[in-house]
Structure 1
Amino acid sequence: MLCILLFQFLCKFFGLVTSGIIHITFILFAVCGAPELYDFAQHLAERNNIDYARCYAYFLWYICLLSQIIAQCFADPRVKSKIEQNLGKKSTELDSSFINRITLWWYTPIPLLGAKKDLEVKDLYELNEGNRSSHLVPLWEKYWNPTIEKYNTTKKNLIKEIKSYEKKSGTNPHQLEKLKKQLYRLKTPSIIGNLFKMFKFELITVTAIKALSDTIQFANPFILHELIAFISKPHGDLWIGVAYAAGMFIASELRSILHNYHNYLMFRMGVKIQSVLMTAVYKKNLKLSNIARKEKTLGEIVNLMAIDVERFQTITPEIPLYLSIPYQCTLALVFLLTIMGYSALPGVLIMLFAIPLNIFCSKWTRGWNMKQMKLKDERVKMCNEILSGIRVIKFYAWEIPMKEIIERIRKQELVCILKTALVKYSVDVFNWSSPFLVGFFSFLTYTLSDPEHHILTPQVAFVSLTLFNMLRQPMTQTGMLITQTVQVIVSNRRLKDFLVADEHDLDSIKRSYDLNETSTTIEVKNGDFSWEAQEDKVDNKFGNLHDINLEVPSKNLIAVVGKVGCGKSSLLSSLLGEMQKIKGYVSVQGRLAYVPQQAWIQNLPLRDNILFGKPFNKEIYDSVVDACALRPDIAILPQGDMTEIGEKGINLSGGQKARVSLARAVYQNYDVYLLDDPLSAVDSHVGKHIFEKVIGPEGLLRNKTRILVTHGISFLKYMDTIIHIENGRIIDVGTYDELISHKEKFAKLIEEAKTEKQQTGSSTDTNSTNDDPIDRSLSSQKEDADSAISEEDLNKKENSNRRISTISIIEQRKNGYSGKRLDDILIQESKEPPRLKTNQKLIQKEKVETGRVKMNVYKQYAESATYVRSFIFILMYVIYGGVQMLRNFWLSSWEDDEAEHRNDHKMRNLGERLGVYAVYGLGESLALTLSLLALILG
């Protein structure tokens, strides 16, 4: 009792609301004390030589013990964390008692609610703090980051050493070869090892629960053996038989509770691992270097998250089986050896033969799995590219050729799947048939080794039959586990290759988020930058930068000009750290905002696209919207700025997307703005308005450092500094007047721009150049698209996929009021034109089917597999189950031969019974083979 009291204090100290150790201890006290209680009660009823004081004291103690057990079923309230205090529907798991947790009683309200109505996400409990990504991801990074940093450091040192050896003359070739082998054999960080470090305590606990469950499971054959022996005795105490029967019931129930609790814990761990690995892949994708991004296709990254990570989640509940299967098979064979003696040895040999067979087949199928995953990467990549360029494909009517390409890849993938399935199911047939083979050869050896004494009694028959049936589950699980293991090995290699891929060098740019107003905001000295990794030099490939020297004072407006493809956008990318820095020094002070050429729009309301997670401030928001010329567009949208914007801004024109992207950056109120030609997608008068109200000397960003890439020449005279780039080099830097008067190349560039404007007759000087006639055609159509597409318009689009019928509101105003400027339009907007009132959303709520699965679904499956194969599969599987039952009945009737075991008819009858038993087993295996073959081919 003192130990229990100590445990109580320890639980209180560590904040445990309930103790399983104390609860189990009380239950064991109650079970072990029940016979003594019965004895005291019997003596008290007979009033024969009884110590009343001791008797009543024991009764009182037992009542208190039962009260403790009942009290332990309820838990005390615990101290909640800040996260849990803010949760909506809180989970009661952590506030439940030990018995409620292992029986999952705390979850009972959810299925009860599901019986009354269709469950929705809001009906479920909120995640506990330990199950959230905010808790799991930092824990993963705690173990993963040191290992990947050590790997990267070792790899860089080896590469430098190899390059230094290669440059030296007279280098020892053996030493160089040794270094190269070291680099090749460099051990990559282990994903599985780091996951084990994260979940080792959970895994050890669950494995112990599984081992206890398996041990209790094998208590039934032992109790059954004793029960049959008790029944065979003519006289015996009734309570012994009742105790045996109760023991079997309690063992079965206890095993069921432990097995289900083990499943719950392992499935929860699988979801945690899935969450961790998906986050790791997502974060890594954002940090990939340019070379790595070229090697890792979009299809591969999608498959990593959709297939490979899911395989880790799928195999997690099966991890204890690596120990459980050998443990169960060993216990079963030990029991068989105890009951049947050395006659069970043939069964042991069959079990041992199954191990190398499964391993050999797993190695055989690994190559097909890897090839299948590569084909799947290629297919997903192709599908993504087709969907991204669907307008061009529709434009040229390329649907059938694209379909044929995908089908050809899919057929190759199906060949690999078919080969893998044939080998896998061949091994499965052996694994599923092995209990029969073990039983047949064991009974054959048992009965024929000593026909006079080895009689198949009920004790031997029923207990052996129970053990053979218990062997069936681990043997069938063996093939599944090995198949999943092979798949996880392939996925582990793919994930590891991705997670150790090269990243952007975060140290290549010196960053400081504290802006000193008197300092230089951006500084580049002798910078060489490349889109491809180079250690010592930068070549003259397209987009690379050479000998960059640049100083940008705080609050200055800088223009970057030059011909198409000269490296203007690359200069901004180098400041972002997107390019590989070959040499030089780069320093950026202050928080940085970037507006790309291709606007990125989220599938959110327009306001949320602009806020981008920042709190809403009406005054700032209104000034940003007005400055970016979005007020007319918001006025015409069905729900104003709360109108839902489709994926990739499908219901916005190109100019509107550019202005939304600019407004998002302006609203963030950062220190440095890198603007990659945001005015190229808008009309000239809109561009002038944005420059005056946002970018220019009097705009909202007048107190910010701005670097503007532009093709327009009308804004250059307002710039503090102009940077002229040619062939990846800065050739001229200065004000507009300095460059136009003293720099011949800049003057020539301006002259060419004016000449091009006059030749094309363009009404804007800010349109970007597009060399592809297809893209020019499509972009012109897209620019004419309406800024507000209602749900009715989207429904009409289904009947006219090749036609874009409406035009932008700004384009309408421009065409309808050709003599008016944007300022005049904005003045008219103060009259608040009426909005189109509708509550329809662009993305409707998904409908979830409820109730039973309709017969039409089964019919579609049967049609896909053909009715003949579906019928053969069902028929053979029914025959398989029926023959299995007949085999068990035949074995149970074998015991009737005991009365005839001494006459001559016995040997003939034994031969018949062994023969029929063998025929049943072979029929069972044949039916299983045909059913699986029909499943594969279907």
Structure 2
Amino acid sequence: MEQQQSSYLTFPTDLKKQSNNVNDWFCGAIEDWGPASKSRFGFTPCFEYRSSDMIFSFYILTITALSIKARTLYLLSDNPQDLSFELGATLFITSVLCIGFIVEAWPRSSTKVQQSSSVPIYDKANLFSQATYFFYFPIIRLGNIKTLTAEDLDNQLPECVYTANAQPRLDRYWKTEQYNARIKGREPSLFRAILRSHLIHVPALFTVRVTRVLAGFAVPAFLSLLLAYFQDIQDLSPSQETAVHRFGTGNSSDRSMRDTSLEYGLFLVFAMFLAGLCNVILVAVSRQYCMTKGLEVRSALVSMVYRKSLKLSPGSRQLSTTGQILNHVSVDADIWSDGGLVLTLWISVPLEIFSALYLLHKTLGWSAWVGLLTMMSMSPLQIWRAKIFNKLQRQLSELSDERIRVMTEILSAIKIVKLYAWERPFLKRILDVRNRELEVMRRSGALDAAMSVVYTSPTLIISLVTLSVYATWGGPGFTPGVLTPQVVFVSMTLFSMLRNPISTLTEATSSTVRLVVSTSRIQRLLLREEIDSGAIVRELRRPKDSSGESAIVVQDATFSWFKESVLVKASGAENQDDADETQALLQEPQDSGVSHMQQPTLQHINLSVQSGSLVAIVGRVGQGKSSLLSALIGDMYIFHGYAKTVGRIAYVPQQSWILNATLRDNILFGLEYDQERYRRIIAASGLELDLAILPAGDQTEIGERGINLSGGQKQRVALARAAYNDADIYLLDDPLSAVDAH
């Protein structure tokens, strides 16, 4: 059993092995536990830890159909007290199915398979538990007993929202969108890629939304029938009214007696309750589904932004600062948490408006279209608001980026700011940017408030105008209409239900604009130029020291920090590949009209380093020593020549990079802890005295950028990290200059 579970609960890391089948797009399909997996529609292994959605749906639909059949048989029988055999059999089968439904819906958390399974709680829950949120009750009870920790909240969300699952899926669609855009000669759209990645979920979501709308508008429909029922009761004679309260009294062909029976009234009340209950459940289901998909997109975008930031070229790093990247993660990607809910509003809101207008037309006739004309007259305001809000949102994003950039610069150089007493000028600069940002936010808030009033008050105005028109000309031949309780109550209910989708239009418009703007900002980052990771040939096998194999080989290579170098500009300007003319351009850059910063930094480099050897590169400041090491790790462009490395590389820069974690975590850097090896590396790096000084030894928390360590201590930590990595090639960029002797 354990072997069988591991085969369908693991996520494949090699995306090339994933199937291109449309069913594999569903969450968990490849792992064989998702909604489109083969096991989900059988009985093993998926149903060992959760019930079958198909069997569950079969029980619900069959019980509903048999209940309708039983009621029909009861109404068609001449004597309801004398139940026929068919009716008894139908009731018996319905009772058996109800028992099966309870068994199928019963939680299976007590089984050993479910307790040992690593599948998230949400994916273990059956359809009924997901619809009623019953699977959250254990964590709610636990929170009532004690304060919840991160371990308690682990494994609660669906598997599809995990970054390991969400990012590869969206990245695959994003690459497809880029490929199609290149073929068609247009700019790729990240927003389109996101929509296509979840296009397979639209039919199910559309079905849930439509069913919810129908269930919601079934309430005023049953209310209309109930008011008509009360009106019929009042119109009955005293003898007929006495007969009404006796179940089944009267001939089956007497329709008026059937429509005014007590049974019929109770049925309408129960139907209203059931429709309202279904509406609430479907609202919760659709909201949960949309929020889950929104979190999935957010997780994927955050991962894509982080991955892209590690591959940006030097020129792209100047365009996308650290503050802007953090803003993409904390603001732009976070907007997609509600993105699924916002986009689906464009499915339900028009349907709700049209359904309400249809029922109003059935109730009020042509007078209901007066309300529609009043509503349509406000459409230009909506278009104007969308344009203004889009402009304000762009200004707000730019000011937010500027504020974060200024704060990042100040915090990075806070020591210099303090030493030169520059607090007030920089504070004034921050407040100036913040005040401009607040001004845009005030204008946006004022616009939201004004438009909220505009789109909320028309509900009352439309009701007043429509009922007035109906009372004046709503009857046949433009005669005055009769405002009965049925007409008034049903109309007011429909107008009340119409208020929500109308007011939601404002929220949907503004939220959609924010989604588009934020997605376009992330898209600009993802389209930034990347460093060419394939420029240097890398072999990850360990080189053989005894054979004298070269670990680093560079042959006639030219490296540059900028892609638009003199070499590229010269070849593009002359449209020729003559190496001699290109060499002349390289020797005489003053004639090319290109700045010194765009010239190749390293030209015609030839280097061969054997495995196991120690090589020192010596030169004056600005001679390109650090640039050569950066070129070997792939941080520079190579325009011609050949470069190759054999084995894994560990790089120690001049300015050591320290993680905001414990000192041990900075050294291990995600690797497993080996006590003996760790002890030897600590001794070799000269960190023993430093650990004795620190208050908690190697468990001391290191602050941001190693603020509580000296320069020598940070450099020794960086050397220990490189040594613990057990690499084949060590590139040390002047690592001992900051190291002090103990």
Further displaced range: 633-642 or 534-543: 534-543
Listed as ranges, the matches of 1:781-860 within 5 Å are 810=742
Partner residue in 1 for 2:146: 117
* Residue in structure 2 matching 1:502, options 509, 520, 529: 529
Paired residue for 1:31, among 67, 87, 98?
A: 67
Q: State the shift of 1:321 in Å.
A: 0.8
Question: Cα distance, 1:290 vs. partner?
Answer: 0.9
In structure 2, what is the Cα distance between the partners aligned to 1:13 and 1:114? 34
Greater shift after overlay, 8-17 or 202-211? 8-17
Q: Does 1:22 align with 2:58?
A: yes
* In 2: Cα distance, 1:287 partner to 1:81 partner: 43
Deviation larger for 54-63 or 390-399: 54-63
Cα 1:92–1:419 change in 2 (3 A) is closer
Residue among 564, 567, 573 paired with 2:630: 573
Per the TM alignment, residue 415 of structure 1 is displaced from its structure 2 partner at its CA by 2.3
Which residue of structure 1 aligns with residue 465 of structure 2?
441
Do 1:543 and 1:570's aligned partners in 2 also have CA atoms closer than 8 Å? no
Paired residue for 1:244? 268
Q: Taking every aligned residue pair, what percent have the same amino acid on both sides?
A: 33
Structure-1 residue corresponding to 2:312 = 288
Counterpart of 1:262?
286
CA distance in 2, matches of 1:80, 1:599: 50
Report the TM-score, using the length of structure 2 for normalisation. Answer: 0.81
CA displacement at 1:438 relative to structure 2: 1.5
Unaligned runs of 5+ in 1: 1-6, 155-181, 687-809, 811-938
Q: In structure 2, how many angstroms separate the alpha carbons of the residues matched to 1:583 and 1:515?
A: 27
| Aligned match for 1:72, one of 86, 104, 117 | 104
**What's 1:648 paired with?**
705
Contact 2:120 2:159 in 1 (8 A): no
Residue aligned with 2:701, SS: coil
- Greater shift, 190-199 or 497-506, is seen at 190-199
1:179-227 superposed Cα distances (whole Å, 9 cap, x missing partner): xxx9xxx423222222233323334322321211111100111111111
CA contact (8 A) 2:40 2:46 kept: no
Q: Please, which of 479, 482, 490 is the counterpart of residue 463 of structure 1?
A: 490
Q: Out of 643, 665, 671, which is 1:614 matched to?
A: 671
Q: Taking structure 1 as reference, are residues 370 and 461 closer, same or farther at Cα in structure 2, changes over 3 Å only?
A: same
Q: 1:81 to 1:576 in 2, by over 3 A?
A: farther
Q: How does 1:110-189 map to 2 (within 5 A)?
A: 110-126=139-155, 127-148=157-178, 186-189=185-188
Indicate the residue corresponding to 1:215 in structure 2: 214
Provide closer, same or farther for how the CA distance between residues 315 and 128 of structure 1 changes in structure 2, counting only shifts above 3 A: closer
- How far off is 1:576 after superposition? 1.1
State the 1:391 CA deviation. Answer: 0.8
Judging changes above 3 Å, is the alpha-carbon distance between structure 1 residues 450 and 287 closer, same or farther for their aligned structure 2 residues?
closer
Indicate if the aligned counterparts of 2:662 and 2:699 stay in contact, CA closer than 8 A: yes
1:185-196 correspondence runs (5 A) = 186-196=185-195
Distance 1:80 1:261, change over 3 A: farther
Is 1:205 aligned to 2:204, yes or no? yes
Post-superposition shift, 1:79?
12
* Aligned with 2:419 (options 388, 395, 399): 395
The aligned residue for residue 539 of structure 2 is: 512
| Equivalent position amino acid for 2:148 in 1 | L
In structure 2, relative to structure 1, the CA distance for the partners of 1:557 and 1:297 (3 Å cut) is: same
CA gap 1:97/1:313 in 2 versus in 1, 3 angstroms: closer
The equivalent residue for 1:375 is: 399
Q: Take 1:51 and 1:574, find their aligned partners in 2: how far apart are those partners? A: 90
Letter in 1 for 2:681: V
Distance in 1 of aligned mates of 2:80 and 2:269: 28
Which of these residues, 554, 567, 574, is aligned with residue 524 of structure 1?
Answer: 554
Secondary structure of the 1:674 match is strand
CA distance in 1, matches of 2:84, 2:560: 96
Q: Which amino acid aligns with 1:682?
A: V
Q: Distance in 2 between matches of 1:216 and 1:621?
A: 65
Does the C-alpha gap of structure 1 residues 145 and 450 become closer, same or farther in structure 2, counting only changes over 3 Å? closer
Letter in structure 2 aligned against 1:69: F
The one-letter amino acid of 2:200's match is: F
Letter in 1 for 2:620: K
Residue aligning to 2:277: 253
Determine if contact 2:410/2:417 at 8 Å carries over to the other structure.
yes
In terms of mean alpha carbon deviation, does 563-572 or 59-68 score higher?
59-68
Q: RMSD of aligned C-alpha atoms?
A: 2.8
Worse-superposed segment, 287-296 or 90-99: 90-99
What does residue 224 of structure 1 align with?
223
Distance 1:140 1:638, change over 3 A: same
Matched residue, 1:12: 43
Alpha-carbon spacing, 1:122–1:495, altered in 2? closer, same or farther (3 Å)? same
CA contact (8 A) 2:367 2:474 kept: no
Q: Distance in 2 between matches of 1:213 and 1:456?
A: 30
Which amino acid in structure 2 is aligned with residue 241 of structure 1? G
Q: CA deviation at 1:379?
A: 0.6
Aligned counterpart, 2:299:
275
CA 1:502–1:388 in 2, change beyond 3 Å: closer, same or farther?
same
Q: Tell whether the 8 Å contact from 2:463 to 2:495 is kept in structure 1 after alignment.
A: yes
Which residue number corresponds to residue 926 of structure 1? none
Distance (whole Å) between structure 2 residues aligned to residue 217 and residue 429 of structure 1: 25
Question: How far apart in 2 are the matches of 1:79 and 1:147?
Answer: 45
Aligned pairs for 1:705-744 (under 5 A) are: none
Tell me the distance in 2 between the aligned counterparts of 1:572 and 1:474: 61
The alignment partner of 2:123 has SS state of: coil
**What TM-score do the two structures reach when normalised by structure 1?**
0.65
Q: Which residue of 2 aligns with 1:102?
A: 131
Q: Kindly provide the amino acid, as one letter, of the partner of residue 139 in structure 2.
A: I
Matches within 5 A, 1:491-640: 491-517=518-544, 518-534=548-564, 537=567, 540-541=596-597, 544-640=601-697
SS of the residue corresponding to residue 501 of structure 1 reads coil
Distance 1:225 1:44, change over 3 A: closer
Matches of 1:228 and 1:373 in 2, distance apart?
A: 54
| Alignment-mate amino acid for residue 605 of structure 1 | T
C-alpha distance in structure 1 between counterparts of 2:704 and 2:289, whole Å: 38
Offset of residue 385 of structure 1: 0.8
Provide Cα deviations, 1:431-464, integer angstroms capped at 9, x if missing partner. 1112122212212221222686412221111111
Instruction: Name the structure 1 match of 2:29.
Output: none
For 1:891-906, what aligned pairs fall within 5 Å after superposition? none
Q: Is the 8 A contact 2:556 2:606 kept in 1?
A: yes
Report the alpha carbon displacement of residue 490 of structure 1 after superposing the two structures with TM.
1.3
Residue 9 (structure 1) shift: 10
The whole-number CA distance in structure 1 between the counterparts of 2:40 and 2:435 is: 66
**1:138-169 Cα shifts (integer Å, max 9, x gaps):** 22222223444666x77xxxxxxxxxxxxxxx
Point out where structure 2 has 5 or more consecutive residues left out of the alignment: 1-37, 237-259, 568-585, 590-595
Q: Which secondary structure does the structure 2 equivalent of 1:528 belong to?
A: strand
Matched, 1:63 2:99: no
Q: 1:15, 1:78 within 8 Å by CA — same for their partners in 2?
A: no
Q: Using the alignment, how far apart are the partners of 2:715 and 2:649 within structure 1?
A: 18
Structure 1 residue aligned with 2:503? 476
Q: Equivalent residue of 1:572, what SS?
A: helix
Opposite residue 686 of structure 2, the aligned amino acid is: A
- Aligned partner of 1:303 among 301, 316, 327: 327
| CA distance in structure 2 between the aligned counterparts of 1:299 and 1:641, rounded to whole angstroms | 31
Relative to structure 1, the CA distance from residue 150 to residue 562 in structure 2 (aligned partners, 3 Å threshold; closer, same or farther) is: farther
Does the CA contact (< 8 Å) of 1:359 and 1:482 recur in 2? Answer: no
Note if contact 2:558-2:602 (Cα within 8 Å) is conserved in structure 1: yes
Aligned counterparts of 1:41 and 1:340: Cα–Cα separation in 2: 37
Q: 1:100 to 1:642 in 2, by over 3 A?
A: same
**Contact 2:660/2:702, CA 8 A, preserved across alignment:** yes
